[in-house]
Structure 1
Amino acid sequence: MARVQLMVRWTWASVLAIVAGLCALAMGEVQQQCPPRGDIAPCTCTVKKNGLDILCEFTDQQRISEAMGALKGKPLVIFYLKLRHNNLKKLPGFVFLGLDIRHLTIHNSSLSVVEEASLSSIGKMLTQLDVSQNSLNQVPSPAFKNLHHLLILNMNHNKVNSLHAKAFQGLDTLEILTLYENKINNIDPEAFIGLEKKLKRLNLGGNGLTTVPQKSLAMLETLKKLEMQENRISEIHEGDFEGLRNLDSLGLAHNKLRTVPAKVFTHITLLNSLELEGNNIDTIDPEAFAGLEENLQYLRLGDNNIHTIPTEALKRLHRLRHLDLRANNISYIAEDAFVGFGDSITFLNLQKNDIRSLSGLVFENLNSLETLNLQNNKLLHISEDVMEPVLDTLRVVDVTDNPLLCDCELQWYKNWLRNLKDKDDEMMQKKRTVCTMSQEHREYSLTSLPLDRMQCVIKSYDDISAGGAPTTMAVSLNGLVASTTCILIARYV
């Protein structure tokens, strides 16, 4: 009887062990082990949490094929296979047969031919493929057609000059496609057939496009981010982005645009970020941003040829938070420049312009402003009256590299810095902003102005952090209490 009980216990223990092993296998928790180093030399192997990381560098096709052969038939999960800096002009058929590869990188290896059967055996496992910085002159569509679980395809820095019809057919799960820095100047209207259901990000930057490939893009209804920076696009027109109704981010930086015409973005009403910097834009139609009223928050217009704040075009953008107008030719800011859309702006960049003065209530409508960059302009004076509407919300203000003259109005800077809520903000605390004392031909930091020698009315800002207004300092002279304002003459100090 005891023997029977022992056998029952042993059998039950065995069942539990087998079940536990199967569960671990199902959950991908089986311990992976690298093969002996000599078996896959010159490749190396390390164990990662989700599988093996195998790296093959500075070798050739034959030795890579031999290493892959040594891995075949083993219950291994190769989470990363990285083939980098090799002489691998051709990826032969069935080279990965019998392997379970999840992420494959073939980088900077002179690859120019990908045989049709080279990737078919890993199509059910592969989720990421990186063939960047090679010599591919076209998309190897036959080799890609069976990669039905691929999420990311990186073909950056190749020599592809056109995208033919159905170039990516079969990649019906693809979410990210990046073709940056190729030589693409032509895209067939049917090039992206098969990507309609899942593609979220497309990078066509650094190519030779002269127009927006509207017919090719129109089918990509799921696309959220489109990058076309660093091309040669000289014009954009109403209807160019029709069909991209879920687009969240559009990059057109560093092209050859001169104007932003009316209603050009009306079909992409969900757009949150628009990058137009680095063009030669000098004209923005008052209706340029029609359709973007409800969602646009980030607008980059730096490094263009804009001469004034494009107030009429911006007025409709009542959710705008980040406005970048750096490195333009703006010399004057009208008092109503931010009326109608300034309430939501938290970041305003006006550095590297030709702004000579700030007057009146130019910042009055910027009730949420946290960062103001006026660096490298031609400002001689920045009065407290101009800055007062934004001092309570500002966390960063950069007025360096301006020919500021030391005057009593600059007291606001030192006291604003002292009352910053975040005392750990090292960037502002260490920034050295200076003005010039013309009589002494000497520079002073704005935090250590010689207010006494300047015969300034010294203002007390002790209550600013609690919402109080600055008051002037009363002092006793020869035992008498002066009035609420007095001038400190150097001989009394």
Structure 2
Amino acid sequence: MARVWAWSRSVRGWTLAICVAALCALVTTEVQQQCPPRSEISPCSCQVKKNGLDILCEFTDQQHINDAMSVLKGKSLVIFYLKLRHNNLRKLTGFVFLGLDIHHLTIHNSSLSVVEEASLSSIGKMLTQLDVSQNSLTQVPSAAFKNLHHLLILNMNHNKINSLHAKAFQGLDTLEILTLYENKIANVDPEAFVGLEKKLKRLNLGGNGLTVVPQKSLVILDMLKKLEMQENRISEINEGDFEGLRNLDSLGLAHNKLRTVPSRVFSHLTLLNSLELDGNNIDTIDKDAFAGLEENLQYLRLGDNNIHTIPTEALKRLHRLRHLDLRANNISFIAEDAFAGFGDSITFLNLQKNDIRSLNGMIFENLNSLETLNLQNNKLMHIPEDVMEPILDTLRVVDIMDNPLLCDCELQWYKNWLRNPKDKDDEMMQKKRTVCTMQHEHREYSLQSLPLDKMKCKIKSYENSAYSAATRQAGVLETSLLLSICVLIGQLAIAS
């Protein structure tokens, strides 16, 4: 029995050794893969990469590319990257890649306008990424794409596609990323994305001619995580436009022609984390505009619009909001309760390039987590210390540059806050040259070197500022310790 067991262990050992040797042979084969001589594939060039060859053909024509492909066909090579850039390649002919093992194919800026049906079919089992950006395609070459059953990424940016026809991407059932940025798309057939519903996670329709959200075509994409429709001509969004996109995490509607954000327009997007509405003409935001986004929305961009007041009523329900961008609007006044009810989670607040003339009361009192405050390029002449005091403990960056600040004793808070090293982004603050003007001298002073003596200011110790936060905590502990000692001494005295 022992002899049989020993023989069995020996066989297992030999089997393991053979497997290891086979693996080593495979690795060696991969490592030993070599580029063909440059003279054989000129004007193309070749480099050996970890996963295969990286072949680049640029500034040449169709015949030279066809010749180079013919040379490569007989060599059993793994071509991880084939990049055809800046060429005169108006047509991708049938079977041009027959016999080649290509994983990533780029045909960029090569005047490509025709992709024949059989041009890509032979590499459909290997190809995972296809980039045909910056060419002259006027429609999606569906027949050529239908056999690319392992494709993960398709980049068709910067072409001349004016519409997406029904079942334009059928067959691409593994596709996860589709980008169609900067085409001329104005019409999207309701069945344009049929076949993509299983895997598609990111869709970029930005930089086109859309005037409405193509709701009927999008509704099937329930796996979609990111939808980009920036830089279109969408003038109106309505409740139901985003129905079906139940897994959407990020929505980009920047730089369209929106004027209003109506009630419950995003109510189906309960998992939405980021919403970009900047660069529109928005002047009205309904109080229920963000209904449905309560649990997950953290990033909201409303900059470069025509908003006149902070839309408190609409924002109140967003109790997880961290990043609020309201730059470049027409806000001139901040109400004392502007951030009441929702400001506790905000870490980033951008109010630069507005028309804010004064800061009064306890407007920042609810911003208990604020780390970055940008008030650059407003009309502020004074920034009182009592307004800033509630947020000095948490602030890491504060930008008050490009305001017509007057040098006064109230600005001591800034100078002392800069001295406090606690959690501050010193590198960022070093780049900011913040100045105020001494009126009677007609001279500018840096807030870091504010001449408090010359201004006859009462120098403050800032015992209640961020600088003393740690000191206060230590003081509490010290007092508690002393009280404990006193109690112990009292007990000893009674006992004796």
Amino acid in structure 2 at the alignment position of 1:107: H
Q: Does 1:433 align with 2:434?
A: yes
Identify if the C-alpha distance between structure 1 residues 243 and 27 changes in structure 2 by more than 3 Å, giving closer, same or farther: farther
> Aligned letter for 1:465?
Y
Partner of 2:181: 180
Distance in 2 separating the partners of 1:28 and 1:260: 60
1:456 Cα offset (Å): 0.4
- What SS class does the counterpart of residue 465 from structure 1 fall into? helix
Match of 2:32, SS state, is: coil
Distance 2:35 2:238 in 1: 56
Q: CA deviation at 1:186?
A: 0.2
Q: Deviation at 1:426?
A: 1.4
How far 1:464 moved relative to its partner?
3.9
Q: C-alpha offsets along residues 277-333 of structure 1, whole Å, 9 cap, x if unaligned?
A: 000000000000000000000000000000000000000000000000000000000
SS in 2 for 1:460: coil
Q: Sort the Cα spacing of 1:106 and 1:165 in 2 relative to 1 into closer, same or farther, 3 A.
A: same
Q: Look up the match of 1:475.
A: none
Q: Is the 8 A contact 1:395 1:420 kept in 2?
A: no
CA contact (8 A) 2:395 2:424 kept: no
- Partner letter of residue 429 of structure 2? M
Query: Is the 2:204–2:229 contact (alpha carbons within 8 Å) kept by the matching residues of 1?
Result: yes
Q: By how many angstroms is 1:29 displaced? A: 3.9
Report the equivalent of 1:486: none
Amino acid at match of 1:59: T
Task: Report the residue type matching 2:386 in the other structure.
Answer: D
The 1-side partners of 2:102 and 2:115 are apart by 17
Identity between Structure 1 and Structure 2 (%): 85
Distance across 2 between alignment mates of 1:204 and 1:297: 23
**Distance apart, 1:469 and its partner CA:** 8.6
Shift in Å, 1:73: 2.6
- For residue 52 of structure 1, what is the aligned residue in structure 2? 53
Across the two proteins, how many residue pairs are aligned to each other? 460
Q: Which amino acid aligns with 1:467?
A: A
Report the equivalent of 1:456: 457
**Equivalent residues of 2:344, 2:368 under 8 A apart:** yes
Q: 1:453 to 1:162 in 2, by over 3 A?
A: same
Residues 28 and 50 in structure 1, CA contact (< 8 A), matched pair in contact too: no
Map of 1:346 onto structure 2: 347
Residue matched to 1:95: 96
The answer on whether the counterparts of 2:181 and 2:204 sit within 8 Å (CA) in structure 1 is: yes
Match of 1:70 in 2: 71
**Equivalent-residue separation in structure 1 for 2:410 and 2:284 (angstroms):** 36
Aligned equivalents of 1:214 and 1:150: distance in 2? 25
Deviation for aligned residue 1:256 = 0.2
Instruction: Name the counterpart of 1:323.
Output: 324
Counterpart-to-counterpart distance in 1, 2:255 and 2:376? 23
Cα distance in 1 between the residues matched to 2:241 and 2:212: 9
Tell me, what secondary structure is at the counterpart of 1:307? coil
For residues 343 and 424 of structure 2, the distance between their equivalents in structure 1, rounded to whole angstroms, comes to 27
Preserved contact between residue 461 and residue 469 of structure 1 (Cα < 8 Å): no
Q: 1:209-254 deviations in whole A, cap 9, x for unaligned?
A: 0000000000000000000000000000000000000000000000
Residue in structure 1 matched with residue 32 of structure 2 by the alignment: 31
Partner amino acid, structure 2, of 1:273: S
Indicate how the Cα distance of structure 1 residues 404 and 82 shifts in structure 2: closer, same or farther if over 3 A, else same: same
Q: Is the 8 A contact 1:201 1:225 kept in 2?
A: yes
1:85-484 correspondence runs (5 A): 85-422=86-423, 425-461=426-462, 464-467=466-469
* Deviation of 1:453 (Å): 1.3
- What is the alpha-carbon distance in structure 1 between the residues aligned to residue 43 and residue 289 of structure 2? 58
Q: Do the aligned residues in 2 keep the contact of 1:52 with 1:79 (CA within 8 Å)? A: yes
Deviations 1:175-216 (Å, cap 9, x if unpaired)?
A: 000000000000000000000000000000000000000000
Q: CA deviation at 1:427?
A: 1.6
Displacement of 1:15 after TM fit?
A: 11
Q: Whole-Å Cα distance in 1 between the matches of residues 426 and 30 of structure 2?
A: 45
**Distance in structure 2 (CA, Å) of the matches to 1:126 and 1:319:** 41
Is the CA contact 2:271–2:296 (under 8 Å) kept in the aligned structure 1? yes
Distance 1:215 1:389 in 2: 49
Q: Could you tell me whether the CA contact under 8 Å between 1:151 and 1:173 is conserved in 2? A: yes
Q: Using the TM superposition, give the Cα deviation of residue 431 of structure 1 relative to its aligned residue in structure 2, in angstroms.
A: 1.5
Pairwise CA RMSD of aligned residues?
2.0
Q: Deviations over 1:242-278 (max 9, x none)?
A: 0000000000000000000000000111000000000
Amino acid at match of 1:38: S
**Structure 1 unmatched runs, 5+:** 1-11, 471-493
Asked whether the 8 Å contact 1:90–1:114 carries over to 2, the reply is: yes
CA distance in 2: counterparts of 1:17 and 1:40, whole angstroms: 38
- What letter is aligned with 2:458? V
Question: Using the alignment, how far apart are the partners of 2:88 and 2:400 within structure 1?
Answer: 53
Measure, in 1, the Cα distance between the counterparts of 2:278 and 2:29: 46
- Alignment-mate amino acid for residue 333 of structure 1: I
Deviations 1:69-104 (A, max 9, x none): 000132211010000000000000111011100000
Residue by residue over 1:448-482, the C-alpha shift from the partner in whole angstroms, topping out at 9 and shown as x without a partner, is: 11111111000124784341699xxxxxxxxxxxx
Deviation at 1:432, TM superposition (A): 1.0
1:30 to partner: Cα distance: 4.3
Normalised by the size of structure 1, how large is the TM-score? 0.90
